[in-house]
Amino acid sequence: MPEHPGFDLKQIEDRSIVRLRVRPSEAGAIGKELQLPLQALQWQDGERASHWLGPDQWLLTSDTKSARDIISHIESTLSGQLFAATDMSSSNACFALNGPAARTVLAMGCGIDMHRNEFKTGQCARTNFASVPLFIVVIDDDSFMLYVDRSYTQYLRDWFARSGEDPLTRDSKLHQDMVS
């Protein structure tokens, strides 16, 4: 993607991504057992980051552990319990979006209120972004992780490149007023 003064989009290669789904009636106990976030739209950082996807499902990601290692840990911890842990590493792509216009450009593509007081550090959400399903993780005020089906990676790159031409993403005063 070409240089942009307000934001930077980079694909994160080799990130392990595992989706965990459990019985709804056992989600609370399993969440505690695996130390997963139990509050809606929350995520926890660590060697294995865990993101709340729904009342009975999480997205687990790591740059240091393989998907196989994550699934093995789940299998040993939840021995005898019903769950589905699926390696999504090959089917999903991850992007890091950073910069003072990051919230502005995200607000241009989805219906989430991107104001810092509404979509805060430590939160995550699934949304329809520029007509594709996207999972957004707030790392801090100007940094986000974006997870998307790998088949949409070029579309997403192109969309961000075109959005970089919009005056809202180029004028620091405009995008600061929009999200501050």
Q: pTM for this one?
A: 0.90
Note the CATH number of domain 8-12+92-179: 3.30.1360.120
Domain ranges of the chain: 8-12+92-179, 16-87
**Backbone torsion region of residue 131, taken as left when φ is above 0, otherwise alpha when ψ lies between -120 and 50, otherwise beta:** left
- Does residue 97 contact residue 144 with C-beta atoms inside 8 Å? yes
- Does residue 113 contact residue 41 with C-beta atoms inside 8 Å? no
16-87: CATH class: alpha beta
Q: How far, in Å, CA of 4 to CA of 150, rounded?
A: 23
Dihedral sign computed on CA atoms, order 160, 176, 118, 7: positive
Element spanning 32, H or E: helix 27-33
Per-residue pLDDT in tens (0 to 9) along the chain, 180 residues: 446 668 999 999 999 999 999 999 999 999 999 999 999 999 999 899 999 999 999 999 999 999 999 999 999 999 989 999 999 999 999 999 999 999 999 999 999 999 999 999 999 999 999 999 999 999 999 999 999 999 999 999 999 988 877 666 555 544 455 455
Q: Measure the CA angle with vertex 92, ends 57 and 161; round to 5°.
A: 125
